[in-house]
């Protein structure tokens, strides 16, 4: 066992347990943490000289959550339910012993206390936190398909009531110390230099060693009876809301609700066992494995720049350029300025450039109106954005992002102007969503400096950046581009150059299948609802309208011009072409697309769709499951082709890109996690069925997948396929 704790007892009999994980900048929970925590607690409980215990940290965080390495190891081996329950109950029982040992414990929170770290704090008799924005507390487990398994649901409910606890748990919200104090989850706030002094003062006073829920006559705040109308209505409303928002694809929210529903009727010790039961159920469910892998483990690897070339000094970008002040360019400028980077925002005339800067001003004003910012912060950020038409101002930039129209000639023109002013070693990035980087680089004087940085709209809210490496992109260019993404606090994935890269073609497969079904006479409402019920945030027709039908049409025209005889028309193109050219329906931008848009923002499917593409009779309409299968497996087949063709070099990038970039159902964990979960042999069989029934090309799977099925290989797990 490696001891993570420093044990010290002062002359007043106060034992300070300081968490200090060796060789780590933060404290995380792994087996060493649990084992050494138990040893030190039992030592303090048995020591007659110890009158009270302070639990604090030597790091800038208290406990940041679970350990990535141990969680990844768990995913790669079968889980025994009994073994899992014993581990869960063992730790939960340890925290229960803290409450009932008779010795008062105070949690002195000097930094974030999340997940298991906050569960430990809730089991202490008193909680004192530094009043700082950096101190966050919360139980965010629902975000990775789990629930708190060491008493978090039960203690939070008993502290602040069902009505207050349920939304915090279902949303996985992290609260600043001040907000947690207001809600009653923290007892005291103090300055950093007072934390230990205030903790000792509480212990040297008349500390209460009995938790509220252990006192006779205890009642949960707000009521603890399901017979109370407001409590009954709360659970009924929550159940209905979960059905309408998650369609029960994600079991964690329902399990959390059940923990509170059952726990409100039980004494604390029995309620803790119920919580452990649900914790085990979620852990052995593939949904949690998929979400943990993609949203936690793989995302953390990507955020730590696993693809950054070695041996290249880190670049801190202080000034960048953005070419094009439209929606994307303005969003990139705002995000960079928010990260403390000076931005030269260039457009063809001053009015257009100023309008791009105005986007940031309007965005910041909304934050001020909501009480999230101040006029001073607004002016400070806006001072970093310099709107202009003068390319000569790019002379001190280290990176320039092009965000103009998807037109080769327009891009070549701005590249030439930028290169004439940029430093020779500056990165030239393009925000194109589909045009191959290598071809665009041919128009530049130094192709090695070019890289693709595909942002998603709205830039300031979307967490993903698709980094595209062209055939001549240098390692230094790639490294410095990744450094820029990290400065923006966004998650990068790395893909090799090809038309559409990964995310555009991946979401394109979904859209293409959905739109193709309209031409076949399948009810558009069935298509849209089937997608949402499967876990997509919106259906393929809605996405088409949001992206812009006219843009999809123009992209197809550009591809046809680029590829000539090699161009293959997608099944959706005849539908989109007809809507654009014959009916001038461009999508949400002009209020007319697959949907008709009203002035108040509401929308309804355009009634004339059935006149243009006659609808099948009700008895000829396919089942919802068949519609879902077509949309899902068209994407899975395309993802498999991407990895077989070396567009993707790792399933990690595909899963992160699918979930964080283009709305692939999170509970499936991304296309490659989904393929593993469903079983590769089953995916091959279903794709073959769909290919023979509908279209051989859209559902074609590569030989790689057939070989993996034959060899019992997977993308993750104990027998992963070797790629590259």
**Structure letter (DSSP) for residue 722:** P
For residues 1 and 21, the answer to whether their CB atoms sit within 8 Å is no
Please tell me the predicted confidence (pLDDT) of residue 405: 85
Block residue for tokens 């101040």: 374
Residue 48 lies in a domain: yes
The reply to whether 234 and 210 lie within a common domain is yes
Closest CA to 620 of 486, 691, 523: 523
Residues of the chain with pLDDT under 50: none
The percent of the chain in helix, strand and coil, each rounded to the nearest 5, is 55, 15, 35
Q: Domain check: are 101 and 216 in the same one? A: yes
Helix (H) or strand (E) holding 646: none
- The Cα–Cα gap between 428 and 430 comes to 7
Q: State which of 496, 524, 543 marks the end of a domain.
A: 496
Q: Which H helix or E strand runs over 667? A: none
- Please state, as a whole number, how many other Cβ atoms lie within 10 Å of the Cβ of residue 480: 26
Residue 199: the pLDDT is 96
Considering the domain architecture, whether residues 332 and 386 belong to the same structural domain is answered as yes
Q: Where are the alpha helices (DSSP H) in 212-349?
A: 229-246, 251-263, 268-283, 286-291, 299-303, 327-338
What does the alpha-carbon distance between residue 101 and residue 99 come to, in Å, rounded to a whole number? 6
Task: Enter the tokens of residue 706.
Answer: 């057939």
Q: Answer yes or no: is 296 within a domain.
A: no
> 658 is written with which tokens?
């699918």
Structure tokens at 281: 């159920």
Same-domain status, 274 and 339: no
Boundary (domain end) residue, out of 476, 496, 516: 496
Question: Quick one: pLDDT at residue 592?
Answer: 93
Neighbours of 383 (CB within 10 A): 10
User: The domain that contains 487 carries what CATH number?
Assistant: 3.40.50.720
Claim to verify: residue 563 and residue 630 sit in the same structural domain? yes
Domain of residue 245 covers 5-284
Q: Are residues 17 and 33 in the same domain?
A: yes
The helices-and-strands tally (H runs, E runs) of the chain is 30, 19
Helix or strand or coil: residue 56? strand
Question: Domain of 601: which CATH number?
Answer: 1.10.1040.50
Q: 429 in a domain, yes or no?
A: yes
Residue in the structure block whose two tokens are 């193709």: 516
470 and 557 share one domain: no
Parallel, antiparallel or unpaired: strands 464-469 and 450-455: antiparallel
Residue 305 domain flag: no
Looking at the structure, do residues 444 and 560 belong to the same domain, yes or no?
no
- CATH assignment at residue 224: 3.90.226.10
Decide if 724 is inside a domain: no
| Whether 591 and 687 share a structural domain | yes
* Residue where the block lists tokens 């023109």: 413
CA torsion sign for 293, 310, 486, 635 is negative
Distance of CA 191 to the CA centre of its chain: 33
User: Does 490 share its domain with 511?
Assistant: no
348, two tokens: 């063809």
Residue 408 confidence (pLDDT) = 85
35: preceding bond cis by omega (within 30 degrees): no
Domain C-terminal end among 232, 267, 284: 284
Query: Looking at the structure, do residues 128 and 260 belong to the same domain, yes or no?
Result: yes
Q: Does 562 reside within a domain?
A: yes
| Residue of 63, 172, 178 whose CA lies nearest to 111 | 63
* Cβ-Cβ contacts under 8 Å for 454 (sequence gap 6 or more): 431, 432, 433, 465, 466, 467, 468, 501, 503, 504
Structure tokens at 455: 């942002």
Kind plus residue range of the DSSP H or E element containing 347: none
The answer to the question of residue 301 being in a domain is: no
Domain count, the chain: 3
Domain assignment of residue 515, yes or no:
yes
Write out the DSSP string of 529-567: HHHHHHT-SS-HHHHHHHH-HHHHHHHHHHHHHHHGGG-
One domain for residues 475 and 523: no
CA distance 286 to 292: 10
């Amino acid at each position: 066992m490696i001891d993570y704790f420093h044990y010290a007892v002062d002359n007043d009999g106060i034992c300070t347990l300081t968490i200090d994980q060796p060789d780590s900048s933060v404290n995380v929970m792994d087996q060493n943490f649990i084992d050494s925590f138990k040893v030190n607690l039992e030592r303090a409980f048995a020591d007659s000289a110890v009158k009270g215990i302070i639990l604090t940290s030597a790091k800038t965080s208290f406990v940041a959550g679970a350990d990535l390495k141990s969680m990844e190891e768990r995913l790669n081996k079968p889980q025994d339910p009994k073994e899992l329950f014993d581990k869960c109950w063992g730790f939960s029982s340890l925290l229960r012993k803290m409450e009932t040992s008779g010795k008062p414990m105070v949690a002195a929170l000097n930094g974030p206390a999340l997940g298991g770290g906050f569960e430990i704090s809730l089991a202490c008799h008193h909680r004192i936190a530094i009043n700082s924005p950096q101190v966050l507390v919360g139980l965010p487990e629902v975000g990775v398909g789990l629930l708190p398994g060491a008493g978090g649901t039960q203690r939070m409910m008993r502290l602040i009531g069902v009505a207050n606890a349920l939304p915090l748990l279902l949303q996985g919200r992290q609260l600043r110390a001040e907000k947690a104090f207001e809600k009653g989850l923290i007892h005291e706030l103090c300055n950093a230099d007072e934390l230990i002094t205030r903790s000792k003062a509480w212990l040297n006073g008349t500390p209460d060693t009995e938790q509220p829920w252990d006192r006779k006559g205890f009642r949960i705040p707000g009521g603890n009876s399901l017979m109370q109308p407001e409590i009954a209505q709360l659970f009924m409303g929550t159940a209905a809301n979960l059905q309408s928002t998650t369609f029960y694809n994600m079991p964690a929210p329902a399990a959390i609700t059940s923990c509170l529903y059952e726990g409100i009727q039980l004494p604390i010790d029995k309620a803790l066992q119920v919580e452990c039961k649900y914790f085990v159920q979620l852990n052995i469910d593939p949904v949690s494995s998929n979400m943990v892998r993609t949203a936690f483990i793989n995302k953390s690897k990507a955020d730590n720049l696993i693809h950054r070339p070695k041996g290249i000094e880190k670049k801190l970008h202080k000034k960048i350029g953005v070419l094009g002040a439209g929606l994307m360019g303005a969003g990139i400028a705002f995000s960079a300025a928010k990260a403390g980077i000076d931005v030269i925002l260039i457009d063809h005339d001053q009015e257009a450039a100023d309008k791009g800067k105005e986007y940031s001003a309007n965005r910041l004003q909304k934050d001020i109106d909501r009480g999230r910012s101040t006029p001073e912060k607004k002016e400070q950020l806006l001072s970093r954005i310099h709107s202009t038409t003068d390319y000569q101002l790019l002379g001190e930039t280290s990176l320039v992002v092009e965000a103009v129209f998807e037109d080769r000639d327009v891009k070549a023109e701005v590249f030439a102007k930028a290169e004439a002013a940029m430093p020779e070693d500056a990165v030239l990035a393009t925000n194109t969503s589909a045009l191959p980087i290598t071809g665009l680089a041919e128009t530049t004087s130094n192709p090695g400096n070019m890289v693709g940085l595909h942002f998603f709209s709205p830039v300031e809210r979307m967490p993903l950046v698709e980094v595209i490496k062209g055939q001549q992109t240098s390692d230094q260019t790639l490294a410095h581009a990744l450094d820029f993404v990290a400065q923006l606090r966004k998650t990068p994935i790395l893909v090799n150059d090809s038309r559409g890269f990964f995310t555009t073609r991946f979401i394109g497969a979904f859209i293409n299948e959905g739109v193709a079904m309209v031409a076949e006479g399948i009810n558009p409402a069935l298509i849209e609802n089937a997608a949402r019920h499967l876990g997509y945030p919106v259906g393929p027709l809605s996405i088409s309208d949001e992206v812009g039908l006219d843009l999809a049409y123009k992209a197809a025209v550009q591809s046809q011009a680029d590829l000539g005889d090699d161009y293959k028309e997608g099944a959706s193109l005849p539908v989109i072409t007809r809507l654009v050219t014959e009916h001038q329906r461009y999508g949400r931008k002009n209020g007319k697309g697959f949907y008709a848009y009203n002035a108040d923002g509401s929308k309804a499917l355009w009634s004339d769709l059935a006149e243009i593409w006659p609808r099948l009779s009700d008895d000829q309409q396919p089942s919802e499951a068949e519609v879902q299968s077509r949309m899902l497996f068209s994407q899975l087949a395309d993802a498999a082709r991407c990895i077989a063709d070396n567009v993707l070099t790792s399933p990690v990038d595909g899963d992160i890109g699918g979930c964080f970039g283009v709305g692939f159902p999170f509970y499936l964990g991304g296309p490659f996690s989904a393929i593993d979960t469903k079983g590769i042999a089953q995916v091959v069989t279903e794709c073959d069925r769909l290919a023979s029934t509908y279209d051989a090309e859209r559902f074609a799977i590569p030989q790689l997948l057939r070989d993996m099925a034959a060899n019992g290989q997977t993308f993750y797990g104990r027998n992963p396929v070797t790629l590259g």
